[in-house]
Structure 1
Amino acid sequence: MRMRTAHVVSSRPLQALSLLTAGALLTGCAAAGTAGSDKAAAGDGSPVKVGLVYSRSGPLAAYGKQYLDGFTAGLAYATKGTNKVAGHPVEVTEQDDAGDPAKAVAAAKDLAGKGYKILAGSTDSGVALQVAPLAAQNHLLFISGAAATDALTGINKYTFRSGRQSYQDVLAAGTLLLGAKDKKVTVLSQNSAFGQANVAAVKSALEGQGAVVTSVLAPPSATDLTPFAQQVKAGSPDLVYVAWAGASAPALWTALDQQGVLDAGKVVTGLAGTASYPIFGPAAAKISFLAHYFPGAAGGNEAEKAMLDGVAKAGGTPDLFNPDGFTAAQMIVHAVEAGSPTDTAAMVKALEDWRFAGPKGDEQVRAEDHALLQPMFTARLNGQGPDAKPELLHVLPMSAAAPTVKTIAG
């Protein structure tokens, strides 16, 4: 574990950020500060301690690095380069969960035991779902990152998210899946929290339009994906919704192309990171893309420009999950400024219904369930290999990409 104050962090990317996961922590270390201690803390210049637990290693390490780069840029932007909030220096501790919920829980317990009130990160959905209960048990503000599972929304009053969720992906895809009535839709994904969330989201969104939804789920560790491509082809779907994460994506698209899936019906998938663009090759023209984000998608608003510049200046490459980290930093700074450095309840209240200009555009934290309302995009890929570039087709405003409202548990 390494600890650095934010003013030091700004000179080079934080090296680890991931979802702080949770395990049952000693309740004694989680008690919220009293009003008197909050006032004292507000004036003494004590540090705001933020714990980042993310996939610095493991199958989603590339996504974790993007989040981390975005967080560093977002902290500089939100604090106007001071890396202080209301006079308090921001002290960030990074820990690697390697995509393992048990490691994330252990890291979160350790940080909470040391008095940290704010946890952020979470690259993996399975990790996020383990951290969220810990946040509730110990009264910690938890801002999940790239983890897309819908189950995180409304899970408890202490949990928020700085990225999108699967239902928002499906709503974006819905603009590409015209005429779903009486069509067979197959969801191809991994048998993980992420994959299962996508199946549930597609069923929720498209079965109501008259579609018949089935799924093909591969083990996350699978490297030979031909059998799963064959299974999809055998079902003769009209529409294939591909939700895939991790380094096996090239093998997946090769298998789908070789087995003729891309020629048999309409295929929709999320536009992943920039490194994935070349893997589609000539097949890109056969695929419709929904997009959480790609560099330039938001049209170069102030926050997006700051994010792109900050990531580039730090030696990173602007990419898919930079907004998740950047937005997390914006949320943390606002929670401390408008709430309290030590009172979690005040920070939660400050975030609820907060509307702000993020790197994707106009965004809002929905008070009812802490969903992050945000724009979504559709795109196509032009060119092949290293020349492949996304072209924006349509922007769905946050109101058109809002998931179903949930009731916060507890």
Structure 2
Amino acid sequence: MSTDGRLTRRTVLSTLGAAGIAGVAGCSGGGGGDETATSTDSGTTAGEESVTGTTTGSSGGASGTVKLGVMQPISGDLQYYGKQALWGFLSGMAYKADADPVTGVESGEYTVTVGDVDYELYVRDSKFSADTAQTLATDLVQSEEVDMLVGCASSGAASRVITTVAKQANVPYMVGPAASADVTANSETCGDMIFRASENTAMDARSGGKYVAQETDVQQVYLFGADYSFGRAVVNNYESVLKANGVEIVGKKFVPQGYSEWQGLLDQASEAGAQGIVGGFTVATLPALFTTYLNGDYDYRVFGGFATEITTSVVGQTLQKVFGKPLTTEKLQGQKFGPFTTRYHWNQYDNDINDAFVEMYSNAYGRVPDLFTSGMFTAASAIVQGVEESGSTAGADLASALRGMTVTDTPKGEDGYTFQEYNNQARSAMTVADPVPTTDEWADRWGAAIMPSEPVARIAAEETTIPADSEEMGCSL
């Protein structure tokens, strides 16, 4: 038993192997989650060969070894999602160790030493597959005896790992960057050992939706989303927030991933009286939507969230086709394109921690920190802080320290993230920015023609997450 009376991972491991995970390893329960994209990532493609690396730092509290099973899609079409998440996590570890981040990461084992604690990272390629993630998590718990699971970019994969592995094994799981609000708002997936530092779709909506309702003249909105968990989460959360702020929803429509016949639907939104539309999509669908919108004669505004580099790159290319090269501020002004919420981008926060993060990340990986990186940096920072504060390397003690923790070192500033006690979701500030042409300063490390402007608004952490007493909150720990 741990010091707080909870069962440890090792207590349940033998029972788990006999009757738990092994019995459900082949069951289905949700797909990979996000839409397919073509990655612009130029990093090393993950392989099957195991490699090792070590980073050593000088700060720490406890002593011993913490084993972390880290799962991200680091090969395939969406490898950039997983790699930026992994790079953010490694940067957080490096920051706490006062060292350089590990680079050239593939599936394998790596060690980051902070003070007297060795953090052994068992990095595995989840391939954006729920089945693969479940199998990997099973092996990490049974064979490697990890103290904590970390990762998954797909919400479907994260949910599968929670229900079939983490909860059965009673092993702590730091989810991220999987963004569906349900992960920490649904009673089936939330839990006292399930944590997420990464921002989620509800935070997108509660930030962007409030800004649109309170700071623009938009009073009627049409909602579009991809017909799977991510798209539905975006639409449902925007609908809730916009209605609560007095905005009328004049229609909503879910379409298949990769849908391209947009003129009829955009005309329908116009006929319904929409003054703005939201698109809950990723790179498989956004280019066709934006091309039709930009080439059409629509009076309504498009808003939503600033995406990762691979999606923003395609959007930028679309804008260049419509308005010509080079893009200029003048060409973008008056297009009713944005503003957009951002969970995190490198130029949205001005503080010493973020400055150090941008520098170390850019030097190590050749690009600026992206959408998923701050949440994963904070996840690593929180884990180290939890070990130091608890004085223990046991998973159960780490979980106990994480509950209600305010994380000291984060890219959004000192004490920038706090884990809510009612669902273990970290809340943090969000920003709203306009799309602007990418400046020469960032062009060699940001491969898109547009980037977020300086923040036009900042939404406080207390306003970004689903409240405990909200109808949308189905978790009460």
Both structures adopt the same fold (TM-score exceeding 0.5): yes
Deviation at 1:180, TM superposition (A): 9.0
TM-score (norm 1): 0.82
Deviation at 1:234, TM superposition (A): 5.0
Q: Which moved more, 1:70-79 or 1:49-58?
A: 49-58
Q: 2:233 & 2:390 partners in 1: Cα distance?
A: 32
Q: 1:243 & 1:310 partners in 2: Cα distance?
A: 32
State the secondary structure of the residue aligned to 1:52: strand
Q: Pick one of 275, 278, 296 that aligns with 1:241.
A: 278
Q: 2:55 & 2:434 partners in 1: Cα distance?
A: 40
From the superposition, tell whether residues 349 and 4 of structure 1 become closer, same or farther in structure 2 (CA, over 3 Å): farther
Q: 2:390 & 2:49 partners in 1: Cα distance?
A: 27
State the secondary structure of the residue aligned to 2:88: helix
Gaps (5+ residues) in structure 2?
Answer: 1-47, 101-111, 324-330, 440-447
From the superposition, tell whether residues 95 and 229 of structure 1 become closer, same or farther in structure 2 (CA, over 3 Å): farther
TM-score (norm 2): 0.71
Residue 122 (structure 1) aligns with: 152
Contact between 1:6 and 1:91, CA under 8 Å: does it hold in 2? Answer: no
Q: Which amino acid counterpart does residue 308 of structure 2 have in structure 1? A: G
Say if 2:426 is the partner of 1:396.
no
1:184-333 mapped onto 2 (5 Å cutoff): 184-213=220-249, 214-222=251-259, 228-233=265-270, 235-260=272-297, 263-275=298-310, 276=312, 278-279=316-317, 281=319, 282=323, 284-285=332-333, 286-287=336-337, 288-299=339-350, 301-318=351-368, 319-333=370-384
Q: 1:140 & 1:147 partners in 2: Cα distance?
A: 18
Bigger helix share: 1
Contact between 2:343 and 2:430, CA under 8 Å: does it hold in 1? Answer: yes
Deviation at 1:227, TM superposition (A): 5.6
Contact between 2:422 and 2:476, CA under 8 Å: does it hold in 1? Answer: no
Q: Which moved more, 1:373-382 or 1:394-403?
A: 394-403
Q: Which moved more, 1:377-386 or 1:94-103?
A: 377-386
Residue 68 (structure 2) aligns with: 50
Gaps (5+ residues) in structure 1?
Answer: 11-41
Residue 148 (structure 1) aligns with: 179
Q: Pick one of 200, 215, 229 that aligns with 1:165.
A: 200
Residue 135 (structure 2) aligns with: 106
Residue 359 (structure 1) aligns with: 411
Q: 2:264 & 2:153 partners in 1: Cα distance?
A: 28
Q: 2:56 & 2:159 partners in 1: Cα distance?
A: 28
Contact between 2:232 and 2:280, CA under 8 Å: does it hold in 1? Answer: no
Q: 1:231 & 1:222 partners in 2: Cα distance?
A: 16
From the superposition, tell whether residues 179 and 76 of structure 1 become closer, same or farther in structure 2 (CA, over 3 Å): closer
Q: 1:316 & 1:162 partners in 2: Cα distance?
A: 25
Q: 2:117 & 2:151 partners in 1: Cα distance?
A: 21
From the superposition, tell whether residues 127 and 232 of structure 1 become closer, same or farther in structure 2 (CA, over 3 Å): farther
Residue 21 (structure 1) aligns with: none
State the secondary structure of the residue aligned to 2:199: coil
From the superposition, tell whether residues 197 and 161 of structure 1 become closer, same or farther in structure 2 (CA, over 3 Å): same
Contact between 1:60 and 1:124, CA under 8 Å: does it hold in 2? Answer: no
Listed one character per residue, the Cα deviations across residues 10-46 of structure 1 (whole Å, up to 9, x for unaligned) are 9xxxxxxxxxxxxxxxxxxxxxxxxxxxxxxx65x3x
Listed one character per residue, the Cα deviations across residues 299-330 of structure 1 (whole Å, up to 9, x for unaligned) are 1x232122212211213311222212211211
State the secondary structure of the residue aligned to 2:457: strand
Listed one character per residue, the Cα deviations across residues 282-307 of structure 1 (whole Å, up to 9, x for unaligned) are 585422211111112111x2321222
Deviation at 1:333, TM superposition (A): 1.3
Q: Pick one of 333, 351, 371 that aligns with 2:425.
A: 371
Q: Which amino acid counterpart does residue 329 of structure 1 have in structure 2? A: A
State the secondary structure of the residue aligned to 1:326: helix
Listed one character per residue, the Cα deviations across residues 223-264 of structure 1 (whole Å, up to 9, x for unaligned) are 66556545544544222112222354333311332344xx32
Contact between 1:327 and 1:358, CA under 8 Å: does it hold in 2? Answer: yes
Q: 2:138 & 2:352 partners in 1: Cα distance?
A: 37
Q: 2:70 & 2:245 partners in 1: Cα distance?
A: 40
Q: 1:100 & 1:182 partners in 2: Cα distance?
A: 39
Contact between 2:55 and 2:113, CA under 8 Å: does it hold in 1? Answer: no
Q: 1:59 & 1:192 partners in 2: Cα distance?
A: 18
Q: Which amino acid counterpart does residue 106 of structure 1 have in structure 2? A: T
Deviation at 1:113, TM superposition (A): 0.9
Kindly tell me the number of residue pairs found equivalent between the two proteins: 374
Deviation at 1:185, TM superposition (A): 2.0
From the superposition, tell whether residues 210 and 389 of structure 1 become closer, same or farther in structure 2 (CA, over 3 Å): closer
Contact between 2:197 and 2:419, CA under 8 Å: does it hold in 1? Answer: no
Deviation at 1:90, TM superposition (A): 1.4
1:3-152 mapped onto 2 (5 Å cutoff): 7=54, 45=64, 47-81=65-99, 83-85=112-114, 87-114=116-143, 115-133=145-163, 134-152=165-183
Contact between 2:378 and 2:409, CA under 8 Å: does it hold in 1? Answer: no
From the superposition, tell whether residues 354 and 241 of structure 1 become closer, same or farther in structure 2 (CA, over 3 Å): same
